[in-house]
Amino acid sequence: MLKVYLALVLTGTPFVASAGSNHSQAISCRSEIEKLNRSTAEGQQRLTEKNHVIKVCADQFENSQTYLPLIATCRKYEGQPLVLQQLVADCVLSVYGFANAVYDLDDYSAN
């Protein structure tokens, strides 16, 4: 997560949730990330699982402009060998993990 925070600082991305954020969306994304973390898949199967989770999270955070610069930075390396694709997927998943943490913080500060 430290890399994500550093990337946010370097890109000037604000540490705020987008207006109209929906906590239930973050819960589904989070549950998919947690399920992925428990998976023992390797290689291409692992990458397929990661891409599924990225799709779920992308669908749910599609209205948030906050994380797009970070994801674009991660995606610069797509199309490379499988090992690098795994790292790109990990990078994107880290951004969505950060998004989940922001929603948690937003909910915590609202209470």
The arithmetic mean of pLDDT across residues 38-67, rounded, is 91
Q: Does residue 1 lie in a domain region? A: no
Q: Is the pLDDT of residue 89 over 70?
A: yes
> CA dist 12 to 15, 28, 34, 35, 74, Å?
9, 27, 28, 31, 16
51-55, 77-81, 99-103: the lowest-pLDDT one:
77-81
Is 50 inside a domain boundary?
Answer: yes
What residue numbers bound the domain in which 59 lies?
Answer: 21-110
Question: Taking 90 as the threshold, does the pLDDT of residue 70 lie above it?
Answer: no
If one counts every other C-beta atom within 10 angstroms of the C-beta of residue 6, the result is 10
**Residue 41 counted as domain residue:** yes
Residues 6+ apart with CB under 8 A from 5: 98
Global pTM reads: 0.63
Mean pLDDT in residue range 7-26: 44
